[in-house]
Structure 1
Amino acid sequence: MKKLCFLVVLISMLSCNSQGKRALVGKTEYQQKLNSSYKDATTSPLKKKDLKNFKGLDFFPVDSVFITTAKLIKTENAPTFQMATTTDRKPLYKEYGKLYFTLKGKELELTIYQSQDDLEDEKYKDYLFLPFTDDTSGDESYGGGRYMDVMLYDINADGTVILNFNNTYNPYCAYNDKYSCPLTPRKNHLDIEVKAGVKVFEKH
């Protein structure tokens, strides 16, 4: 009988805990993970007052129109250069290649980069850096542009790779000016409205 009572109490406790725990905000796994990291004070770029009121980032509706297959043409013998940032910091990058793709019937091109500092970091060595601006920048999306991470292991043998603009994010500078963020090169402007991914952040 004691065992049965204990079991009933345990089940009711678990039930209460599961109901009390707030569900992660976001329409997709990507959005939920991003919101989770921004809600966590140990990983969030938000200022204290913004973190206090944080309910979740504002995203454009998820749209399959902004998922496209790009063709990567690697840049051979690319020189290492210092990328401009929002501060005096000048991180080292190389142009990894050019991506050719179509969005909404328009043929577009973006240059993708590889951080030379990240090559030494086991956690980030497979990351490629894709910054861009578009015709929503400075209005519905952050004026400094948005970023997309492309993984080396996601590039197929024929040089094709899926670009999902729904999984784009703002540089930390969009939330807090204490950060140093790479500036989007002018040549990485898309002459189209990319209504996908994260929107501009309304600071408190």
Structure 2
Amino acid sequence: MTCAQPAIQKPIPTEHTQQVAEFQRELNAEFTDPARSPLSAEARRSFAGLPFYPTDYAACVLARFVPDSLGPVFAMPTSTAKRLLYRKYGELHFELSGQPRRLVMYQSLDLLTNPAYRDYLFVPFTDRTNGHGSYGGGRYLDFRRGQIRGGHVVLDFNRAYNPSCAYAAGYDCPVPPAENRLTVHVEAGIRHDH
């Protein structure tokens, strides 16, 4: 008797390297675009690219998705006094650094009204690199509902990025909830050298 394989698999290493390089190119392009960049005009003029940890295939894991859409709506604290409405969408169960881990995936109620972002899901997290190699306020991972297939999703920390408030004041950046604190150094994704 054989066990059924998940409907989704991690990319092979060469594909993964290409996917991460494309993510980094797109993020750097966003930072040079005046309409999308959190950087001031002066900072964009001297912008030479974002710092990233070296791509780490081990930081790309297959996570089991456990849905939980019955939780109450709650106000997630932000970097300002504003509170943003979210609901818990589900949990991601995975192994990282040889240990079982869990992160909660959230859905923004505000974005549900925007057709372009209706299927957007959000994983804000902290880890032991915060303030020591990565932004002290945590990092984010984005997903679309269609990325969850057969009860699994590829969770790639090489795609972790900083909130806009890491670069400029005035943004309402969600603060990662305590339940999304990883007790491991995640040396993947974007760095923050400040």
State whether TM-score is above 0.5. yes
Q: Encode CA deviations 1:108-134: one digit per residue, 9 max, x unaligned.
A: 011110001111111111110100000
Cα shift at 1:48:
2.9
RMSD: 1.4
Q: Does the CA contact (< 8 Å) of 2:133 and 2:193 recur in 1?
A: no
CA distance in 1, matches of 2:70, 2:172: 28
In the alignment, what sits opposite 2:112? 119
CA distance in 1, matches of 2:175, 2:147: 25
- Show the 5 A alignment for 1:84-163: 84-157=77-150, 159-163=151-155
Tell me how many residue pairs correspond in the alignment: 176
Cα shift at 1:49:
2.8
CA distance in 1, matches of 2:175, 2:58: 27
Question: Larger Cα Rg: Structure 1 or Structure 2?
Answer: 1
- Partner SS state of residue 53, structure 2: coil
Letter in 2 for 1:168: A
- TM-score, length of structure 1 as denominator length: 0.83
CA distance in 2, matches of 1:182, 1:201: 21
CA distance in 1, matches of 2:38, 2:155: 25
- TM-score, length of structure 2 as denominator length: 0.87
Q: Does the CA contact (< 8 Å) of 1:93 and 1:114 recur in 2?
A: yes
CA distance in 1, matches of 2:65, 2:35: 36
Letter in 2 for 1:198: I
Cα shift at 1:201:
4.9
Higher relative contact order (CA 8 A, sep 6+): 2
User: Does structure 1 residue 182 correspond to structure 2 residue 160?
Assistant: no
Cα shift at 1:47:
2.3
In the alignment, what sits opposite 1:168? 160
User: Does structure 1 residue 73 correspond to structure 2 residue 51?
Assistant: no
Cα gap change, 1:48 to 1:100, in 2 (>3 Å): same
Letter in 2 for 1:183: V
Out of 8, 21, 28, the position equivalent to 2:21 is: 28
- Partner SS state of residue 83, structure 2: coil
- In structure 1, the gaps of 5 or more residues are 1-26
Out of 49, 52, 57, the position equivalent to 1:59 is: 52
Q: Encode CA deviations 1:8-51: one digit per residue, 9 max, x unaligned.
A: xxxxxxxxxxxxxxxxxxx7000000000101122110123321
- Partner SS state of residue 28, structure 1: helix
- In structure 2, the gaps of 5 or more residues are 1-19
CA distance in 1, matches of 2:70, 2:178: 22
Letter in 2 for 1:79: P
